[in-house]
């Protein structure tokens, strides 16, 4: 059987959850038709480890930034730090960055400053921004829009599970919405409706593994091979065959993450 070609646009292969079988996890992804993966560094001191995983595996690329929940843990990131990392041949995006007021609202000012620095790095490198957004929709929409008016950049709304208003604000800037396992949960009807109303050429698929495994693996450790389960739900959401949805989202990935094309 010929499998559709898929891309896991956002995973965390450096996390200890995969330490015992990282090579096997990547092999299973390929066997499921997931030919490319972007593994995300969320703390810059971990960048050499994440880069080494990308270097060791064909089809694995990486991105780096400071996760909004971690902005108070280390010295502030600089634009120059991110630009320097971007010189790596398999470095394809800036982030994840963003705003998370769910657990770390006390650092919201630092998060906003960090987000703006990441956006400036995107402008300088022409690489896409990778956004994490939770319980901060109004500030997120405002900052993304303000910064876009100051100078265009491209962006992926990673693991999108926010409001319709934030989706519309992002799509108005020609940004991309990424479907994770959350979109496949039975109770996520409203979220699937937001995706269904978005242009197909602005949709990506990801796992965010090891988190958020889609059915039938919900509650277990997620891994890039499970991109196929979320893609099946995406195909149904857009009334397409799995092949058609896979082809569309792969083309979208290559347009946005041009260094991995």
| Domain locations along the chain | 6-260
Q: How large is the C-alpha radius of gyration of the chain? A: 17
pLDDT of residue 1: 65
Among 199, 187, 190, 183, smallest CA distance to 236 is for 183
The one-digit pLDDT tens for each residue of the chain (261 residues) are 677 899 999 999 999 999 999 999 999 999 999 999 999 999 999 999 999 999 999 999 999 999 999 999 888 899 999 999 999 999 999 999 999 999 999 999 999 999 999 999 999 999 999 999 999 999 999 999 999 999 999 999 999 999 999 999 999 999 999 999 999 999 999 999 999 999 999 999 999 999 999 999 999 999 999 999 999 999 999 999 999 999 999 999 999 999 999
How many Å apart are CA 170 and CA 158, to the nearest integer?
12
pLDDT given for residue 124 in this prediction: 98
Q: In 170-253, at which residue ranges do the beta strands (DSSP E only) sit?
A: 176-179, 203-205
Q: What is the pLDDT of residue 74?
A: 83
**Secondary structure letter of residue 101 according to DSSP:** H
**pLDDT value at position 7?**
98
Give φ, ψ of 214 to 5 degrees.
Answer: -80, 160
Kindly give the interhelix angle for 137-150 and 164-172, rounded to the nearest 10 degrees: 10
SS3 50: helix
The predicted pLDDT at position 2 comes to: 76
Measured CA to CA in angstroms, residue 58 lies from 6, 8, 39, 260 at distances of 15, 14, 13, 11
The single residue listed with the structure tokens 């109770």 is 187
Q: Which two tokens stand for residue 112?
A: 């906003």
Q: Are 154 and 256 in contact (CB under 8 A)?
A: yes
CATH number of 6-260: 3.20.20.140
What's the rounded Cα separation, in Å, for the pair 125 and 123? 6
Q: What is the pLDDT of residue 3?
A: 79
């Amino acid at each position: 059987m010929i499998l559709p070609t898929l891309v896991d646009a956002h995973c965390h292969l450096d996390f200890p959850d995969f330490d015992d079988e990282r090579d096997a996890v990547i092999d299973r992804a390929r066997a499921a038709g997931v030919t490319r993966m972007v593994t995300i560094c969320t703390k810059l001191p971990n960048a050499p480890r994440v880069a080494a995983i990308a270097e060791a595996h064909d089809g694995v690329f990486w991105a780096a930034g400071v996760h909004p929940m971690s902005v108070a843990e280390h010295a502030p990131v600089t634009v120059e730090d991110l630009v320097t990392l971007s010189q790596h041949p398999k470095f394809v995006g800036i982030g994840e960055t963003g705003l998370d007021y769910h657990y770390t609202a006390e650092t919201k000012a630092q998060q906003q400053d960090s987000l703006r620095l990441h956006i400036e790095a995107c402008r300088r490198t022409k690489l896409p921004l990778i956004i994490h957004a939770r319980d901060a929709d109004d500030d997120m929409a405002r900052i993304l829009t303000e910064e876009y008016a100051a100078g265009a950049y491209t962006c992926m709304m990673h693991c999108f599970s926010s409001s319709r208003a934030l989706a519309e604000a992002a799509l108005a800037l020609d940004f991309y919405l990424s479907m994770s396992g959350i979109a496949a949960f039975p109770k996520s009807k409203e979220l699937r409706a937001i995706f269904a109303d978005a242009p197909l050429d602005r949709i990506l698929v990801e796992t965010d593994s090891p988190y958020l495994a889609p059915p039938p693996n919900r509650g277990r450790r997620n891994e890039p091979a499970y991109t196929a389960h979320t893609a099946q739900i995406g195909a149904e959401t857009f009334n397409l065959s799995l092949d058609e949805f896979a082809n569309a989202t792969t083309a979208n990935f290559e347009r946005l993450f041009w260094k991995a094309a």
